[in-house]
């Protein structure tokens, strides 16, 4: 009897597992749900989806949502997009939103946008509800040398036709920043920019910055303009400092040349004195030779000595007297 009960339990368990496996392979519930909503899909197609490792629930739910929105999409199209790595739900939601908003978007374009790595549903939402992008602070210098720091708000709308291959938000921000720098840089004075900040927006909008991007620029609003540094004055100060350093370097060069020339002249003077001393040293020898040769007598020698003594006396008389230090001669009595 126990063996019969155990066999019965095994049969029940096997039956439950078999039924579960059968209903897993053949999702009757999904098929019935599709039938109730008027979506054409057969049980055989659902079984083949299992074998192709495609979740039938994703495909059926997407087909039901599209059917209710009046959009005809076949299960083969959805399976192909899923196997290609696409996001089925985003594509279907995007098609429904675009249809309700009268935006031209077909299944092929939606799948191409999705496979390109962009969120197609977010792009359609941005086409209906434009997005505001805040630019980082952009620094520019007017012609009068005053630095201005501007912040802008760019209102953009997704361009469905340019989503595949079009540039993104970073390109928009870079182009807007370039336009702001150009606009401020061409202004004669920073005061004119502060008085009319909308002039920046007008100049930037006329440049067609959204060309080749995935967005369409609706407006550019200057949110804030602050005054920065006086770049012109700083440049002039730096130039003046550089000119001063150059002038000092040239003056130092001239001074060094003058010192070198002075030293050279002193050397020449010392050389001349040496020659004079050398010549004076030869006078006694010449006089001795003159005595020996009889060309110079003793009286002539004494006359020359008298003349030298008179010359030394006159020189001592012509010199001014030396000043004595205050407090006497400094000698003790």
pLDDT tens digits, 13-25 = 656 655 555 555 5
The reported pLDDT for the residue numbered 68 is 80
pLDDT tens string 220-264: 888 888 888 887 778 788 888 888 889 899 998 888 898 888 888
Largest alpha-carbon pair distance within the chain? 178
pLDDT tens string 268-309: 888 888 888 888 788 778 777 777 777 777 777 777 778 778
Q: What are phi and psi of 281, to 5 degrees?
A: -65, -20
The reported pLDDT for the residue numbered 114 is 84
Q: How far apart are CA 215 and CA 167, in angstroms?
A: 8
Q: Which CATH number is correct for 131-230, 3.40.50.300, 1.10.287.3510, 3.30.479.30, 3.90.550.10?
A: 3.30.479.30
The reported pLDDT for the residue numbered 230 is 80
Answer yes or no: is pLDDT of 33 > 80. no
Q: How far apart are CA 198 and CA 84, in angstroms?
A: 48
Query: Are the C-beta atoms of residues 114 and 87 closer than 8 Å to each other?
Result: yes
With a CB cutoff of 8 Å and minimum separation 6, the contacts of 290 are: 296
Report strand pairing: 131-134 vs 146-158: antiparallel
Q: What pLDDT band is residue 143 in, cutting at 50, 70 and 90?
A: confident
Answer yes or no: is pLDDT of 77 > 80. yes
Q: How far apart are CA 241 and CA 248, in angstroms?
A: 10
Query: Are the C-beta atoms of residues 156 and 168 closer than 8 Å to each other?
Result: no
Name the strand (E) or helix (H) holding 156: strand 146-158
Could you tell me where the beta strands, DSSP code E, fall in 4-60? none
The reported pLDDT for the residue numbered 269 is 87
Burial 125-143 (b: 16+ CB within 10 A, else e): bbbeebbebebeebbbbbe
Task: Provide the residue ranges of all domains of the chain, joining segments of one domain with +.
Answer: 17-128, 131-230
Mean pLDDT calculated for residue range 135-142: 86
């Amino acid at each position: 009897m126990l063996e019969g009960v155990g066999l019965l339990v095994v049969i029940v368990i096997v039956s439950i597992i078999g039924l579960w496996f059968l209903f897993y392979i053949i999702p009757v519930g999904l098929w019935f749900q599709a039938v109730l909503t008027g979506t054409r899909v057969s049980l055989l197609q659902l079984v083949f989806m299992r074998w192709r490792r495609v979740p039938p629930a994703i495909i059926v739910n997407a087909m039901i949502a599209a059917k209710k929105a009046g959009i005809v999409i076949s299960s083969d199209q959805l399976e192909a997009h899923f196997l290609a790595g696409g996001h089925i739900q985003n594509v279907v939601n995007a098609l429904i939103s675009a249809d309700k908003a009268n935006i031209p978007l077909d299944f092929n374009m939606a799948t191409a946008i999705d496979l390109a790595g962009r969120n197609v549903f977010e792009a359609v939402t941005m086409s209906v509800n434009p997005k505001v992008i805040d630019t980082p602070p952009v620094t520019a210098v007017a012609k009068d040398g005053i630095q201005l720091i501007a912040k802008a708000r760019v209102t953009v709308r997704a361009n469905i036709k340019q989503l595949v291959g079009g540039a993104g938000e970073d390109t928009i921000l870079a182009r807007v920043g370039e336009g702001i720098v150009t606009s401020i840089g061409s202004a004669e004075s920073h005061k004119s920019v502060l008085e009319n900040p909308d002039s920046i927006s007008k100049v930037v909008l006329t440049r067609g910055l959204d060309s080749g991007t995935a967005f369409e620029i609706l407006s550019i609003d200057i949110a804030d303009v602050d005054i920065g540094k006086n770049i012109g004055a700083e440049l002039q100060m730096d130039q003046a400092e550089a000119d001063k350093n150059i002038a000092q370097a040239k003056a130092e060069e001239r001074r060094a040349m003058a010192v070198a020339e002075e030293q050279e002249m002193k050397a020449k003077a010392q050389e001349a004195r040496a020659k004079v001393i050398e010549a004076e040293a030869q006078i006694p020898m010449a006089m001795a030779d003159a005595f020996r040769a009889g060309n110079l007598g003793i009286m002539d020698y004494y006359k020359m000595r008298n003349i030298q003594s008179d010359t030394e006396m006159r020189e001592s008389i012509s010199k001014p007297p030396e000043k004595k230090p205050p407090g006497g001669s400094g000698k003790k009595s």
